[in-house]
Amino acid sequence: MDTNTLIDLWQEARTRFSNQLANLTEADMTKRLGSSPNSAGFLLRHIADVELLFAKNVFAQPGVQVHAKTVIARRDTGEWTNLEELLEYQQYAFDCLQKAILAQSDEDWQNEIHTQEFGTKTKAEALGRIVSHTAYHAGQMAIILKYGV
């Protein structure tokens, strides 16, 4: 596998999320869709939390600081309302995961890793998982932003 190709793939896939960021408002952070358990602010934080967990635990990027509050709480606690902080946090997550991906050699992508959450996967398969995770929640966020209150 070619690391440069994979970073391009990840960056392009992440635009489903990142293209939404410039238009967000503080008021958007509390929006929900009907009785949906997650607000837009929660999803913004959750995407960043999981990207940081991947950078640290899957790709072994040194120095990554993550306090995955959304993963720990397993629900929206209503605290994800500060847009500026959330945008800074997601940028930190982007930077850390990008650095972690770029640190992989072409050969590293076939190395297996094991996590409690999804078992044994190659690093290439794990990259597919974080790509789909971010895109999945980005889609939820887009619907909440369009139709939520």
Predicted confidence at residue 128, as pLDDT, reads 97
Q: What is residue 117's predicted lDDT score, i.e. its pLDDT?
A: 83
Per-residue pLDDT tens for 42-62? 999 999 999 999 999 999 999
Token representation of residue 7: 């970073």
The pLDDT of residue 118? 86
Q: State the pLDDT at residue 116.
A: 84
The pLDDT profile of the chain, 149 residues, written as one tens digit per residue, is: 899 999 999 999 999 999 999 999 999 999 999 888 999 999 999 999 999 999 999 999 999 999 899 999 999 999 999 999 999 999 999 999 999 999 999 999 999 999 888 899 999 999 999 999 999 999 999 999 999 99
Concatenating the DSSP letter of every residue in the chain gives --HHHHHHHHHHHHHHHHHHHTT--GGGGG---TT-S--HHHHHHHHHHHHHHIIIIIS--TT-----HHHHH-S--S----HHHHHHHHHHHHHHHHHHHHTS-TGGGG-EEEETTTEEEEHHHHHHHHHHHHHHHHHHHHHHHHH--
pLDDT at 130 (0 to 100): 97
Q: Which domains does the chain have, with CATH numbers?
A: 3-147 (1.20.120.450)
Q: What pLDDT does residue 65 have?
A: 92
Could you tell me which residues come within 8 angstroms of residue 34 by beta carbon, excluding any fewer than 6 positions away?
A: none
Residue 88 neighbours by CB distance under 10 Å: 12
